[in-house]
Structure 1
Amino acid sequence: MSAGESILVPAESLREQVERMIAARIVSGETPPGDVLTVPTLAGDFGVSATPVREAMLNLARRGFLRPIRNRGFQVTEVSAEELNQLTDVRLLLEAPPMRRVAGAIDADLEKELRALADRIVVAGTERRFEEYLEADTAFHLRILAVTGNEKLVDTVRELRQQTRLVGLVRLADSDTLVPTSLEHAELVDLLVAGDGAGAEALMRRHIGHVGGVWSGRQED
């Protein structure tokens, strides 16, 4: 790609694309808390003008990912352990129990779709493509929850996932321990297809528990 050429595609607005890419860097820990981001630097990285970058960063500031620093740019905020634990608790309440309802309701087409996403998650994590990892991971979980037919549940979980930091992803990829947690997606599909609701709920609880553990950069019990 030549210098200055955009790495973005016109599937969504430039602001949305830039915001998604910056958020993925922050969520995954590629851009850690405390780092200062500037509009000119990111505009050069993405090959776009300053306007969509500035709009994206202002929106990320409203979402709590960044805080403006006068005459310097935007600093990546830090999520406290307590806030992360609260997000994890809410997600456990919302995402784990529905596995009993979804178990046995996965048809062949959906199974194929979920297995493809599960494979994509593993490959993206192995190859350190964290934006793709997070996109596939979100699509996987929301697609399963959509089986319940509860759109409010899907929208709420989507919002919660957008607030969750997984800053340990980069370290896990460096230590080759990201793959075992990624493989839990395929295991979950196996349980759901087999109609094992109790097993699927237990696995989902363990899976979400990683948010406050290894995915956050902390050790699990």
Structure 2
Amino acid sequence: MKTSQSIHRIGPVASLRAEVEQALSSAIISGELEPGKVVSVPTLAAQFEVSATPVREAMLDLEKRGFVESVRNKGFRITHVGEDDLREIVQVRRWLEVPATRLAAEVFPAEDLPRFRSLADKIKQAATEGRFADYLAADSDFHLAIMRLTGNGRLVRLVAELRSQTRMVGLAELRDTVELEKSANEHHVLLDLLAAGKPDEAEELMHRHIGHILGWWAGRREDQAEIDASA
């Protein structure tokens, strides 16, 4: 079995189960563990260098989230996410995150800009080095921090849940590509717009940025993805 960059030895932590689940979900979301692949608990436990128990528990949690399905006497199969599912996720995320980004541009605190820059730098660095688990974690931290500027905790939780359902199965294939670099750089561009108090431009960029889920991350041209999304 080919080793995924997201699946590696895990040191002593408070919750092995949570750490294993996070690593596996990152590998699935990014496409390092591709849909249809069957993985076994013993093999994964050996790669993580942990006992089988936290891996099995993590896989059961991922099964509840719809990321995997059990295969009798073999392990777990990585599930597919259909086109309709992805379109629905993108649509709802746009309904929530795009207007929230407009509000964030209207209230963006200048004193927080260095903190946001640091998050954007982490995204860009992880993308450059092909560390997709770190990329996804930093990307989530960045976007949820923007949502928190609205002061609406329910919005933050809803967006976090939608992000946990999102698959970017073409991400791992975009290592060292212009598309990955451009997407990573968009976080800095978005910050420029937020800091400058430009809600229209920030709103438009967030709309386009979320659309990468149906475009680059799905291995498709962005223009065709937008046509399909509106169909």
What TM-score, normalized by structure 2, do the two folds share?
A: 0.90
Counterpart of 1:59 in structure 2 is 61
Do the aligned partners of 2:128 and 2:176 also contact (CA within 8 Å) in 1?
Answer: no
Alignment partners' CA distance in 2, 1:55 and 1:49: 11
Matched, 1:29 2:48: no
TM-score (norm 1): 0.94
Residue of 6, 10, 14 corresponding to 1:7:
10
Question: Does the Cα contact within 8 Å between 1:87 and 1:160 map onto a contact in 2?
Answer: yes
Change (3 A) 1:128 1:9: farther
Residue 128 (1) aligns with residue 130 (2): yes
Aligned-partner residue type, residue 126 of structure 2 = A
In the alignment, residue 218 of structure 2 is paired with which amino acid?
Answer: S
**Distance in 2 between residues matched to 1:52 and 1:7, nearest whole Å:** 11
Correspondent of 1:207 among 202, 206, 209: 209
Residue of 195, 198, 202 corresponding to 2:197: 195
2-structure distance, mates of 1:107, 1:157: 21
Call closer, same or farther: CA 1:107–1:86 in 2, change over 3 Å. same
Q: How does 1:35-184 map to 2 (within 5 A)?
A: 35-184=37-186
Uncovered stretches (5+) of structure 2, i.e. residues with no partner: 1-7, 224-231
Q: Deviations over 1:134-161 (max 9, x none)?
A: 0000000000100111000000000000
Alpha-carbon shift at residue 174 of structure 1 (Å)? 4.5
Q: CA RMSD in A?
A: 1.3
Give the partner amino acid of 1:138: S
SS in 2 for 1:97: helix
The whole-number CA distance in structure 2 between the counterparts of 1:8 and 1:79 is: 32
Unaligned runs of 5+ in 1: none
